[in-house]
């Protein structure tokens, strides 16, 4: 099955992506790094933010994608918006947030440094600017850049109107949805975020905690190069992650979440949902650039063949 064949299923679906959109400065160390010393790096400026990354991944497959965030400062380099979705402004607060990622020479993340003070200070957003785009089947994709009160307000406002999809975002922010789990349709996060959310010491106890809060939630958990876990209709699936040459793992989790949300809303078979999500995340970690459909399909299917999905019966 070719990846772009899902396009036919997306005509009536509407993806409303709400959250962080800012500049990412990706610093890749050229040689073996030394702590407490000056290290030579290659620097790349790009448009970033969890929900911004997800929106721009979704637009590869559907035009029915909108991005809602804060306005940028006037001196921001407009080149970062080339071939990217420009955010619709839902607040008057000027966006001075940024993200710096330091990668080793192999593209493995050493540390990410995020400044989101503007997002966390605002108390409200303009719901009307989002509501005018509501139509057909709506999916609200939300990251956790806002403070807990505003996140809960957004979820409470929309959960009866649309499907709520949440991207984990950070171990330091995941607690912001603890009280709202029963209103969330789908949650995509990594293992560390899962443990931080539930305050449990193991995967199984954490999964049980979430399922007890919301038995209908669709859950996916990435675990770096360990098998990814998916809970769908109370069935558990494990998907192997193939060995790849990592060049830049920054954004790989967002790519996984993008495909998870896309295929899930398309109501594809569970094995397709998880295998496609893993393959798309791998392509991102390989720093694969989407240029031609034929080339993309070839690379995607090459990775896909290495993914194995196993279902665990109830």
What are the residue ranges spanned by the domains of the chain? 3-312
CA distance 284 to 126: 32
Cβ atoms of 14 and 132 within 8 Å: the answer is no
Sign of CA dihedral 272, 274, 278, 284: positive
Over range 281-305, report the average pLDDT: 85
Q: What is the pLDDT of residue 111?
A: 94
Q: What is the pLDDT of residue 248?
A: 84
Query: Where residue 76 falls among pLDDT bands split at 50, 70, 90?
Result: confident
Over range 253-265, report the average pLDDT: 96
Does residue 126 surpass a pLDDT of 90? Answer: yes
Q: What is the pLDDT of residue 94?
A: 83
Q: Supply the DSSP symbol for 158.
A: H
**Helix H or strand E encompassing 190:** strand 186-190
The highest-level CATH class for domain 3-312 is alpha beta
Sign of CA dihedral 29, 33, 34, 36: positive
Say whether 299 sits in a helix, a strand or coil.
Answer: helix
215-219, 243-247, 276-280, range with the lowest pLDDT: 243-247
CA distance 218 to 184: 9
Say whether 265 sits in a helix, a strand or coil.
Answer: helix
Q: How many CB atoms lie within 10 A of CB 59?
A: 19
Question: Within the chain, what is the greatest distance between any pair of CA atoms?
Answer: 56
Q: What is the pLDDT of residue 90?
A: 97
Name the more confident of 247 and 153: 153
User: Whose structure tokens read 């999964």?
Assistant: 207
Report helix, strand and coil shares of the chain as percent, to nearest 5. Answer: 35, 25, 40
Q: Who's near 218: CB < 8 A, 6+ residues apart?
A: 185, 186, 187, 230, 231, 232, 233, 264
Predicted TM-score (pTM) of this structure:
0.93
Does residue 175 surpass a pLDDT of 80? Answer: yes
* pLDDT > 90 in the chain, percent: 75
Cβ atoms of 144 and 174 within 8 Å: the answer is yes
Structure tokens at 190: 């990594």
Q: Who's near 69: CB < 8 A, 6+ residues apart?
A: 18, 19, 20, 21, 49, 51, 52, 87, 88, 89, 90, 95
Name the more confident of 186 and 292: 186
CA distance 113 to 102: 8
* pLDDT > 70 in the chain, percent: 96
Q: Who's near 231: CB < 8 A, 6+ residues apart?
A: 207, 211, 217, 218, 219, 220, 237
Phi, psi for residue 135 in degrees, rounded to 5? -170, 160
**Helix H or strand E encompassing 238:** strand 235-239
Does residue 314 surpass a pLDDT of 60? Answer: no
- Cβ burial of 71 (10 Å; 0-12, 13-18, 19+) is middle
Q: What is the pLDDT of residue 181?
A: 98
């Amino acid at each position: 099955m070719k990846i772009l064949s899902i396009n036919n299923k997306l005509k009536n679906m509407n993806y409303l992506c709400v959250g962080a959109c800012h500049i990412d400065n990706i610093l890749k160390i050229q040689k073996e790094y030394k702590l407490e010393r000056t290290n030579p790096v290659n620097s790349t400026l790009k448009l970033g933010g969890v929900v911004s990354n997800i929106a721009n991944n979704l637009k590869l497959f559907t035009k029915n994608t909108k991005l809602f965030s804060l306005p940028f400062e006037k001196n921001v380099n407009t080149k970062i918006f080339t071939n990217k979705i420009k955010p619709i402004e839902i607040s008057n607060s000027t966006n001075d947030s940024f993200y710096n990622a330091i990668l080793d020479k192999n593209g493995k993340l050493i540390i990410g440094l995020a400044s989101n003070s503007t997002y966390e200070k605002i108390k409200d957003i303009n719901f009307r600017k989002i509501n005018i785009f509501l139509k057909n089947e709506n999916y609200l994709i939300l990251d956790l850049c806002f403070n807990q009160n505003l996140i809960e307000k957004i979820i409470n406002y929309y959960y009866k109107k649309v499907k709520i999809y949440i991207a984990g975002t950070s171990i330091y922010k995941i607690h912001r949805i603890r009280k709202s789990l029963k209103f969330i349709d789908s949650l995509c996060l990594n293992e560390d975020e899962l443990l931080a959310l539930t305050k449990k010491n193991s995967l199984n106890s954490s999964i049980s905690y979430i399922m007890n809060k919301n038995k209908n939630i669709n859950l996916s958990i990435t675990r770096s190069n360990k098998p990814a876990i998916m809970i769908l209709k109370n069935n558990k699936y494990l998907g192997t992650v193939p060995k790849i040459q990592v060049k830049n793992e920054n954004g790989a989790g967002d790519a996984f979440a993008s495909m998870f949300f896309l295929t899930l809303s398309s109501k594809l078979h569970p094995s397709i949902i998880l295998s496609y999500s893993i393959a798309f995340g791998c392509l991102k970690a390989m720093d694969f650039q989407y240029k031609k459909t034929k080339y993309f399909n070839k690379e995607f299917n090459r990775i896909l063949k290495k993914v194995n999905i196993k279902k665990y019966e109830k």
